[in-house]
Amino acid sequence: MSSLQNDPSHFTILNLDPDHPGGGPFVVMQMASDPGDPGFRERCFLLSKEGTWLRLIDFLGDDKALLARFLFSDFGEIGVFLSSVSGPPRMDELVTSRDRSQQKLEEIASVGGLRSYLRELLASVPKRG
């Protein structure tokens, strides 16, 4: 397992609304170990538009303002942004409690996985024109 990197070859781009004709919105993810984790456990991270990484478990909430920080509207926006990502990864400071994290993991499992969870959260955000 490799450590979290700012290397686009390690990123996964997830389309949250594949039924939309233009595609997107998208999130940029990476499966890696947390740079500060001596156990090198694999985690899922999301990349914000500010260039910071957030552990998925810390992201999971119903905060639409937070969601907006991680949504990219199209591949062009992702491409421009990724060309500016460099240097060592910077971590976002948001942290949730262990109880809240477990609750969210159970909620994700109950709706069929991460993509389904994010799509449901996205459905509560006003649609594009």
Instruction: Flag whether 94 is in a domain.
Output: yes
pTM of the model: 0.72
The reported pLDDT for the residue numbered 85 is 84
Region of poorest pLDDT, from 54-63, 72-81, 103-112, 117-126: 117-126
Compute the distance between CA of residue 5 and CA of residue 129 in angstroms, rounded to an integer: 35
**Does residue 2 lie within any of the structural domains?**
no
Residue 1 in domain: no
Structural domain for 50, as ranges:
8-123
Q: Are 30 and 11 spatial neighbours (Cβ–Cβ below 8 Å)?
A: yes
Stretch 77-83: mean pLDDT, rounded? Answer: 86
Which of 39-43, 60-64, 74-78, 113-117 has the least mean pLDDT? 60-64
Please count the structural domains in the chain: 1
The residue among 106, 122, 94, 95 whose CA lies nearest residue 14 is: 122
CA 110 vs CA 42, 43, 61, 80, 113: distances in Å: 22, 20, 15, 35, 7
- With respect to residue 129, please indicate whether it lies within any of the assigned structural domains: no
23/107 Cα distance (integer angstroms): 26
Distance separating alpha carbons of residues 83 and 106, to the nearest angstrom: 36
Indicate if the pLDDT at residue 62 is higher than 60: no
More confident residue, 45 or 38: 45
pLDDT of residue 129: 46
Comparing 5-14, 18-27, 58-67, 83-92, the range with the smallest average pLDDT is 58-67
Q: Are 78 and 26 contacting, i.e. CB atoms less than 8 angstroms apart?
A: yes
> In percent, how much of the chain has pLDDT > 70?
79
For residues 81-110, average pLDDT: 75
| Bridge partners, 44 (sequence order) | 31
Residue 3 is assigned to a structural domain of this protein = no
In this prediction, residue 56 carries a pLDDT of: 79
